[in-house]
Every structure is written in C-alpha cells, then in structure tokens.
Amino acid sequence: MHIFFNMFALYMFGGILEQLWGTKRFLFYYLLTGFGAGLVQELFWTIEFHSVVGALNDAISANSGEILLNHQVELSHYFRLENIASFDASALIEMKRMFLNMPITIGASGAVFGLLLAFGWLFPEVELYLMFIPIPIKAKFFVIFYGVAELFMGVAQFSGDSVAHFAHLGGMFFGAILILIWKKKKTL
C-alpha cells in the first residue's frame, strides 16, 4: 500500500509539476528532495542511536554485557535482551554491527513529500478531494496538516511504526529550500 500511494501521489502531483518546470528541472527537484530526505533520516537516526552505540562501546571495552543492564529500557526497544550480561566483546561487536546495519533508508516517500510541498506551495488554493474525506481541502492546508502529522508521528515513535517520518519531513525541507532559491533567482 505504501508503494501504491507513493506512486499515486507521484502521478497526481508529479505530472503537473513536470509540465510547469519541464522534465530536467522536475527530475532535479525530485532527486534532490529524495536524497535530502535520506540525509535527514540518517541524521535523525544518528542522533537517536548515539546513546545506544555509546553503551555498546562501553560494554565492548569492558568485555562484558553486564554494563548494558543499566540501559535495558533503551536497548529493549531494539533488541531482545535475554542473557545479555553473559555477552563477551565478540558477541557485543556482532550486536553493534547488526544494530548499525538496521537503519537503511530506501524509497520514494521523501521525494513524494517534496512534490506534495511544491504542489501546495505553487497551487495553494486548489481543492483536493481525499478518498476518505468527502469534503474538499485546499492544497496549502493539506500540506501543512500532513507535515505536522509527520512531525508528530516522528517524535512520538509509536511501537511497530516502521515509517521514516523524518525522511518525509526532509523531502519537504529540501523542497522548500530549493523553491526559495528558485524564487530568489526568479527562475521559478
């Protein structure tokens, strides 16, 4: 469903923006917001995982998993912690390697959110009809609402949520920066 809605949004908003900007500018915008989204998500993961990696480094240095018992609440979000106190340095190094390989950013969502932002910015009064809401909503309000919802969901970190919410916000952020640059240069 995630891929379907990404491609549906690309179809809905991408075609209009490509007609407005031309293929080269559209592709540049799409790729920049996609790469920017990945960078922002990786930055937030680096910040979020800093304390876990620090605890793992301390345990590796001590050659004992017992040190990790002080961080059980934090670590239990990412690992099953059975017998962690018995882990030696080699097991802890493998645990750290697995942990650092978990956060992989892949997908088109960030670029799609960049397109959504551009559409809402350039066509703010266009009324959108959403599948599950029978009343129209102006593009500018939809973009603001969706951005705030993504920020809330990214900060709340609901259990079982595997969506890269900060990637979505990163796509919007990089899109806004590029649109502001184009506006300043009067090339928008």
Contact between residue 55 and residue 40 where contact means Cβ atoms under 8 Å apart: no
Please give the average per-residue pLDDT across 60-88, as a whole number.
79
Contact between residue 154 and residue 165 where contact means Cβ atoms under 8 Å apart: yes
Percentage of the residues of the chain whose pLDDT score is greater than 70: 95
How far apart (Å, rounded) are the C-alpha atoms in residues 140 and 128?
Answer: 10
Residue 54 has pLDDT above 70, yes or no: yes
Please give the average per-residue pLDDT across 57-77, as a whole number.
81
Mean of pLDDT over the chain:
90
Percentage of the residues of the chain whose pLDDT score is greater than 90: 56
Contact between residue 186 and residue 127 where contact means Cβ atoms under 8 Å apart: no
pLDDT of residue 73: 60
pLDDT of residue 87: 87
Residue 69 has pLDDT above 90, yes or no: no
pLDDT of residue 105: 76
Listed range (40-44, 78-82, 84-88, 114-118) with the worst mean pLDDT: 78-82
pLDDT of residue 136: 94
Closest CA to 62 of 95, 105, 92: 92
pLDDT of residue 133: 80
How far apart (Å, rounded) are the C-alpha atoms in residues 2 and 185?
Answer: 36
Q: How does pLDDT run across 110-153, given as a tens digit for each residue? A: 999 999 999 999 999 999 988 778 899 999 999 999 999 999 99
Q: How does pLDDT run across 19-34, given as a tens digit for each residue? A: 999 999 999 999 999 9
How far apart (Å, rounded) are the C-alpha atoms in residues 9 and 115?
Answer: 8
Please give the average per-residue pLDDT across 66-94, as a whole number.
79
Residue 68 has pLDDT above 90, yes or no: no
